[in-house]
Amino acid sequence: MITRRNLLGTAGTGAVLAFAGLRFPEFAQAQGAAAGLTAGVPEGVGSYATMATLPGKKPLILLSDRPPNYESPLEYFRTPITPNDQFFVRYHLADIPEIDPKTYKIKVGGDAAATPVEISLDDLKALPAVEVVAVNQCSGNRRGLSKPHVAGVEWGYGAMGCAKWKGAKLKDVLAKAGIKKEAIEVSFNGADGPVVDKTPDFIKSIPAWKALEDTTIVAYEMNGQPLPHLNGAPARIIVPGWTGTYWMKHVTEINALSKPQGGFWMAAAYRIPLGKFPIRDRFVSQETAVNTPITEIVVNSLITSHRDGAKVKTGKLTVSGMAWDGGYGIRAVEVSTDGGNSWTNAKLGEDLGPFAFRPWSFDFSAKKGKNAVMVNATNKLGQSQTSELIFNPAGYHNNVMQNISLMAG
């Protein structure tokens, strides 16, 4: 009898996988999955990763199934809104309960809250609703491209997505609990938890000033639909501009704190070296002499019309993609087809707000043979992408300009 283990074990090496389609027609899609990976991620990813279909999702690149970490392939980023069924999935801990929205409650309290309360989904929906289009990008997006290698989930380009989020302002939720002036941070816990009791639960905090911004919300809708289960149903925190680590899924606890949250996921994880990145937003209560929590997304762009090495026709060619940043908005996207000697502005597309993907496109004449295409986005602060990786131990904030080759025949 064929076991899945044996069946897939056959495709256990990259070399075998490359020929698997010839021997097992059913592996054709697995081959596609290998092609679906971002060039440059560790070889080992290609030895097992497949396109996998979670309930309610289109195929995503399966990096790990427990906890579930599924990446969107490049082709899903051709529209400024990423559909819910194409949106990436990222978890730290493998115990993920289904939650009945009818009995779902969020405890809102903390030592800097005067009147702790429990609110239901209906209570949340009764508050004034706001909508914000925002990119949710994993801090470790593109970690797999880090040189030298850093350990972790080896994401390519696709640990991100942009959606229209609808919910209540976090500040309105905090007002229900009587947040006090002493509050310096607001922490979040979600319903997902560890398998082993000793594993630190995933608890995150943000500075009070960020929690009280009008665009920081407790969302119950994503692109006009209830949140998909694996994107945080019934409600999750949305921190536009900041990386996904703070966007707590299945949020069950919100606490106003007069002291820094001291758990593993704040004190030890998700930190960047001080002074290496052009970051504006500070998280002063969590800073140490050497590092600080990651905050806003660095300006970045992605060519989504073509993959590196794609075959194209000689002559008129349009390349296009997305650009985004930490909420200042994209001022310009420039493209170079001569190895970075000269740069020309791309045409910017629809503006869905400062936290959203900004589409761009660029027309040029492809010459026969290899065409190098580089892209660099600049935000409204004047910050641009980097040409050399700014190495850091966790592989965060990779905004190295892409330099792809298109082969014209």
Residues lying near another protein in the complex (CB under 8 A):
1-5, 7-9, 12, 26-30, 33, 42-45, 47-55, 59, 62-68, 94, 148-149, 151-154, 194-200, 264, 268
CB of 238 to another protein, least distance (A): 25
Nearer to another protein, 34 or 303 (CB): 34
Element (H, E) at 122: helix 121-126
Torsion of CA 227, 231, 237, 240, to 10 degrees: -100
In the complex, the smallest distance separating the C-beta of residue 37 from another protein, rounded to whole angstroms, is 11
Instruction: Quote the least distance from Cβ 48 to another protein, whole Å.
Output: 5
Nearest residue (CB) to another protein, 22 versus 407: 22
Query: Is the Cβ of residue 194 or residue 353 nearer to another protein in the bound state?
Result: 194
Q: Which residues contact 172 (CB under 8 A, 6 or more apart)?
A: 127, 128
Give min distance, CB of 28 to another protein, in A.
7
Nearer to another protein, 96 or 303 (CB): 96
The string over 45-72, giving b where at least 16 C-beta atoms fall within 10 Å of a residue's C-beta and e elsewhere, is bbebbbbeebeebebbbbbeeebbbbbb
Q: How far is the CB of 193 from another protein (least distance, A)?
A: 11
Q: What's the DSSP call for residue 216?
A: -
Beta strands 369-379; 403-408: pairing state? antiparallel
Identify the CA nearest to 106 among candidates 271, 210, 4, 217: 217
In angstroms, the CA 280 to CA 178 distance is 29
Residue 295 CA to residue 283 CA, distance in Å, equals 7
Q: CA dist 334 to 98, 126, 236, 337, 342, Å?
A: 45, 44, 35, 10, 9
Q: To the nearest whole angstrom, how small is the minimum distance from the Cβ of residue 114 to another protein?
A: 35
CB of 353 to another protein, least distance (A): 33
Beta-carbon contacts of 276 under 8 Å, excluding residues fewer than 6 positions away, are 390, 392
74 three-state secondary structure: helix
CA angle 202–62–101, rounded 5-degree value: 50
CB of 40 to another protein, least distance (A): 12
- Nearest residue (CB) to another protein, 63 versus 374: 63
C-beta closer to another protein: residue 28 or 372: 28
Instruction: Name the residue nearer to another protein (CB basis): 64 or 361.
Output: 64
The residue among 10 and 365 lying less far from another protein, judged by its C-beta, is 10
What is the three-class DSSP state of 12? coil
* Number of other CB atoms surrounding residue 354 within 10 Å: 21
Give the nearer residue to another protein in terms of CB position, either 3 or 341: 3
CB of 113 to another protein, least distance (A): 30
Using DSSP's 3-state secondary structure scheme, residue 49 falls into coil
Q: What does the alpha-carbon distance between residue 346 and residue 10 come to, in Å, rounded to a whole number?
A: 46
